[in-house]
Structure 1
């Protein structure tokens, strides 16, 4: 079976090391299913590994992409009931290719009321938001978000309000995000508004930070000592240093929570996620053919972006 894949054989800038390759797909393993892909999003978590940031965990060559959705087109006898079903292709091969093999037991079925383009984004950001809120509760607290225009932060903000947060404020860089944040019940504050940031930081019970760098250090200086600072990303590209023991910093990574969940727990996470996603404001999407992958990455990097780039992997 012919397979097109966006693969990298060395580390560097994604636009330089990624190449569209064509080859033959090997035989399906006995405990795996094969998914013919439809869409895969472009996330920071897809791009950062290509730079070599985590090269101690990556064996080259590697197909890019950590999430996406498609249709099951081959399955062993025990999983024939999945044939023709829409599923998320997760925790197997890289998803930026036309055919993806994944462990059959980890296949996540997509409900009928979730469309393809939302399903393709149903893992990395939604699961991160859900787990952070479960382990670091927002209930009864004033919440502060950084990178508030990002998809994960917008999910965090909306779901924090559902979980009983007293208020949610979002620090954002681009003015285009302000209206969307307000529509989601999140108070928008631009990153340049230092006085307003100081006001909200001084009252924050929990900060969910995806930015790092100088902003993270500033917030840590301004927050109450009894508050929690949850770091789940470094979109600024800059690390930060804690100058004091308090407020307490928690470093959040989804992968740390998956091993303990087991197969049943993994499936249950998504049974709880789908109803939430169906009722949540999410970004619009911008579709790119697989041959336009460089444009998709460029769109992801665009300042003030209001649409999520999706790579269309089927013809």
Structure 2
């Protein structure tokens, strides 16, 4: 932080997340003072840079739909948000966590995290896992989501939080699971009421215990290469280093 009102002058010179401010691609960002979240000294820059939307969404979903002693099914298991959901579901006492993946080079990483990998090509395994799941967190939409939802038992929860396929979830007759739509922005008023510092007080320890997979850092001038990395199946999460523009 380079400038702050008198009430936050102690944060000048410290690292903060300038949340909900305009100008994501700017080297200097203005944000409301109460949305400037101080980053603990022990949190590395590359973890702090990715501490907002995906970790906050995963933590919020796990608070709304607790997973202790439950069987959890994730779709889009190679995505950042799904990775947080899987890691933290395990640490919060889930009985079993299964993850549906597309790219084969995600399989070993899921195994290492303790998530049972299921290929999108293995429809039989997806249907079996869906029948066993107590909670499903779906990032895909489309046909996979429909298969999962239609096979889940009564008194289970299907949480739709993404549409990576670009296709909606068609809910047919006879669906027994409870369908929930989750969008992070719907929960911002509650988080703002509690204070963003309080919300992140829960997230920092989770990130310390189970940090995200290492990203690949690109100088800002290499933004084309960063986009190519993001589109590559199984590619590392890209981060643009805007300090190179200074």
Using the size of structure 2 for normalisation, the TM-score is: 0.95
- 1:237-256 residue pairs with structure 2 within 5 A? 237-244=166-173, 246-256=176-186
Preserved contact between residue 258 and residue 266 of structure 1 (Cα < 8 Å): no
The yes-or-no answer on 1:169 pairing with 2:98 is yes
Deviation of 1:281 (Å): 4.2
Aligned to 1:56: none
Q: 2:160 aligns with which of 231, 234, 240?
A: 231
Residues of 2 paired with 1:232 and 1:149: CA distance? 15
More strand by percentage: 1
Aligned to 1:183: 112
Q: 1:286 aligns with which of 203, 210, 216?
A: 216
Aligned to 1:79: 8
Provide, for residues 80-131 of structure 1, a one-character-per-residue CA deviation record: whole Å limited to 9, x for no partner: 1111100112111132211110111111111111111110000111010000
Using the size of structure 1 for normalisation, the TM-score is: 0.74
Residues of 2 paired with 1:284 and 1:217: CA distance? 32
Aligned to 2:187: 257
Q: 2:231 aligns with which of 271, 283, 301?
A: 301
Aligned to 1:98: 27
- 1:202-217 residue pairs with structure 2 within 5 A? 202-217=131-146
Preserved contact between residue 300 and residue 309 of structure 1 (Cα < 8 Å): yes
- 1:28-177 residue pairs with structure 2 within 5 A? 72-177=1-106
Extract unaligned runs of 5+ from structure 2.
none
SS at match of 2:104: coil
Preserved contact between residue 141 and residue 167 of structure 2 (Cα < 8 Å): yes
**RMSD, matched Cα:** 1.3
Residues of 1 paired with 2:47 and 2:191: CA distance? 24
SS at match of 1:178: helix
Aligned to 1:6: none
Preserved contact between residue 34 and residue 196 of structure 2 (Cα < 8 Å): no
SS at match of 2:180: strand
Of 169-178 and 294-303, the range deviating more from structure 2: 294-303
Aligned to 1:63: none
Deviation of 1:263 (Å): 4.8
Q: How many residues of Structure 1 are paired with residues of Structure 2 in the alignment?
A: 243
Residues of 2 paired with 1:207 and 1:238: CA distance? 18
Deviation of 1:197 (Å): 1.1
SS at match of 2:30: strand
Provide, for residues 227-247 of structure 1, a one-character-per-residue CA deviation record: whole Å limited to 9, x for no partner: 110000000111121003532
More helix by percentage: 2
Provide, for residues 127-173 of structure 1, a one-character-per-residue CA deviation record: whole Å limited to 9, x for no partner: 10000000011122110000101111111011112222110000001
